[in-house]
A = this chain, B = another copy of it.
Amino acid sequence: MSYQLYYWTGLQGRGEFVRLCLEDVAAPYVDVARVEGDDAIMPFLAGEHTGALPFAPPFLKTGRLVIAQVANILHYLGPRHGLVPEGEAAALHAHQLELTITDFVAEVHDTHHPVSTEQYYEDQRDEAKRRSKDFREHRIPKFLAYFEKAVDRGGSRFPLRQHSYVDLSLFQVMAGLEYAFPKAMAKQKAPLLRDLAKRVADRPNIAAYLASDRRLPFNTNGIFRYYPELDS
């Protein structure tokens, strides 16, 4: 049975965290809006279906389930595809890390939209500069130190002692930060995280995905955006 992933076209966005899981385990899936257009998303946001109502994409349809929220989707996929170690303690641990990644990603978004998602970046650039300065000076170091420590506690290769969906998300975060904040990231050490990200990129299915046209480039429609004035 094929999964149906719903996410806006034209950007990696939050959908990418789900794509990386599906690609890593070679799960059959359709990226529905890329086939049918963004309009395919709307009936679900309007609630014209049974089951859980998504607040926003991404959401995953599988059988009769509609599952929204990235961390929830990964929590669902993990045990089904060997993307989390067995047992409740590991599932909770992985999910906790993923939820902290979720928080970090929301902060990344707010570096370019600190006032309103209803307004253009250009209309909140001054506030964005102020927030990005704080993000570069305090939040990147704090979150990277936390995840570095998490990898160290897992034995220095994986936060969960073996490959998991958390690795894939950490790869995406590191790649996004390198794109959006190259100068700030050049000042960060995080050797275990950098090594982890490299090993994820080298996984055969991930390497094939990253080389495919399914992997969109980062751009300034996504969560991770490169605006030079926010990185200096």
Contacts and interface: CB of A to CB of B under 8 A. Distances in A.
Count of identical protomers in the assembly: 2
DSSP majority for the A interface?
Answer: helix
Given A47-B153, A55-B146, A69 B99 contact: yes
B114 A53 contact: no
Nearest to A131: B115
A116 B99 contact: no
Interface string A108-148: 00100011111100001001001100100010000100100
A75 B95 contact: yes
A89 interface: yes
Interface of A: 47, 51-55, 64-65, 67-69, 71-72, 75-76, 89, 92-93, 95-97, 99-100, 102-103, 106, 110, 114-119, 124, 127, 130-131, 134, 138, 143, 146, 149-150, 153
Contacts of A116: 130-131, 134, 138
A231 to B, nearest CB: 17
